[in-house]
């Protein structure tokens, strides 16, 4: 016979498991990536400065004073306004032009990413889902385009489009929308739109391949068969199931592509085939310093450092998103 020991007090602690949504899990992983968080803060500050450009600058981008060219940093003019970064070769305020240039360059990069990733998502989703001859035609075209040297083709096409205004008609509504964002007149806004079209026209290829590979693995899942059994059409399955479930690698690709578009826009402008002076971009400002860089070696750093910082920040943000969206990593 066994006698159980009396228990005066029994404390039972309920162990609860905190449930987190997928977004909370991704956000927690991303916050733990210090370089990504620092880069995100830097980019927020840069975007805020470019958005507030009309309110934090004292000069217009095309305001010229030929008597005050290449003045030192912090020079005060006769009106009491300060040239924080000095002036360029014809007396335009460098500080104002750098900020307005950032607004234009970053907007071009963002619009290029949105357009190219959207095209790549739909082309890749259709190719991967339908397979067969549809996949063969689309992917062979993508592979052919990837074998073509990108930079020479970009230079040729951008030159053709910028010189022939009737080659691609652009609706006035688009020009007005882009002009309001970039603070440009319709003619200059047209050049910016054409650069976006050129960059996005070659940028969707890698995202299409990435989306196709993800959809190829998703289309064999049981939820696709379940949707078909319930009468869902192929378009519904692609839009409702394939694309949303394949967005994780696309988000990472888009964040990494931003850095590439910033550099690509700067390269086109630097070589004389992008948005040209007097409209400021980081690329054409960098190109304008070639003649004076030996006498004033600090001059190329003014537009070059923002390009470097934005490219590095976008890469770290993409790296952080890649780690945060990887389901194999632990919390």
Q: What are 19-50's pLDDT values in tens digits? A: 677 778 888 888 888 999 999 999 999 999 99
Please report the pLDDT score of residue 308 as a whole number.
94
Please report the pLDDT score of residue 13 as a whole number.
45
Residue 125 class from Cβ within 10 Å (0-12 exposed, 13-18 middle, 19+ buried)? buried
Write down the domain spans for the chain: 95-319
Low-confidence residues of the chain: pLDDT under 70:
1-19, 165, 327-331
Whether the Cβ atoms of residue 194 and residue 304 lie closer than 8 Å to each other: no
Whether the Cβ atoms of residue 66 and residue 109 lie closer than 8 Å to each other: no
Please report the pLDDT score of residue 106 as a whole number.
94
Whether the Cβ atoms of residue 162 and residue 273 lie closer than 8 Å to each other: yes
- Model confidence pLDDT, tens digit, residues 152-201: 877 787 777 777 767 778 888 888 999 889 988 888 888 889 889 889 98
C-alpha Rg value of the chain to the nearest Å: 26
Residue 289: CB partners within 8 Å, gap ≥ 6? Answer: 296, 299, 300, 302, 303
DSSP secondary structure string for all residues of 17-73: PPP--HHHHHHHHHHH-HHHHHHHHHHHHHHHHHHTHHHH-SS-TT---GGGTTPPT
Distance CA 233, CA 219 (A): 13
How many residues comprise the chain?
A: 331
Distance CA 232, CA 225 (A): 10
Please report the pLDDT score of residue 11 as a whole number.
47
Q: What is the reported pTM? A: 0.87
Please report the pLDDT score of residue 328 as a whole number.
63
Q: Which CATH architecture has domain 95-319?
A: Orthogonal Bundle (1.10)
């Amino acid at each position: 016979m066994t006698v159980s020991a009396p228990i005066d007090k029994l404390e039972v602690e309920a162990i609860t498991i905190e449930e987190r949504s997928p977004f909370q899990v991704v956000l927690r992983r991303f916050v733990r990536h210090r370089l990504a968080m620092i880069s995100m803060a830097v980019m927020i500050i840069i975007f805020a400065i470019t958005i507030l450009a009309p309110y934090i600058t004292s000069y217009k981008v095309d305001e010229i004073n030929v008597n005050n060219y290449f003045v030192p940093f912090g020079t005060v003019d006769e009106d009491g306004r300060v040239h924080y970064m000095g002036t360029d070769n014809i007396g335009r305020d460098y500080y104002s032009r750098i900020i307005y240039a950032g607004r234009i360059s970053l907007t071009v990069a963002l619009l290029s990413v949105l357009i190219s990733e959207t095209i790549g998502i739909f082309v890749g989703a259709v190719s991967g889902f339908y397979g067969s001859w549809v996949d063969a035609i689309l992917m062979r075209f993508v592979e052919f385009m990837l074998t073509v040297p990108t930079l020479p083709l970009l230079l040729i096409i951008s030159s053709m489009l910028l010189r022939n205004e009737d080659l691609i008609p652009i609706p006035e509504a688009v020009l007005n929308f882009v002009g309001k964002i970039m603070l440009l007149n319709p003619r200059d806004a047209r050049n910016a739109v054409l650069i976006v079209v050129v960059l996005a026209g070659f940028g969707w290829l890698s995202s299409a391949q990435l989306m196709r590979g993800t959809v190829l693995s998703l289309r064999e899942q049981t939820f696709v068969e379940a949707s078909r059994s319930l009468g869902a059409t192929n378009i519904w399955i692609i839009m409702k199931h394939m694309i949303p479930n394949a967005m994780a690698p696309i988000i990472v690709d888009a964040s990494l592509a931003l850095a590439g578009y910033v550099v690509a826009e700067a390269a086109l402008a630097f070589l004389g085939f992008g948005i040209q002076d007097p409209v400021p971009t980081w690329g054409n400002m960098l190109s304008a310093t070639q003649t004076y860089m030996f006498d004033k070696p600090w001059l190329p750093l003014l537009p070059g450092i923002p390009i470097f910082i934005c490219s590095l920040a976008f890469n770290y943000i993409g790296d952080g998103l890649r780690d945060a969206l990887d389901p194999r990593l632990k919390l």
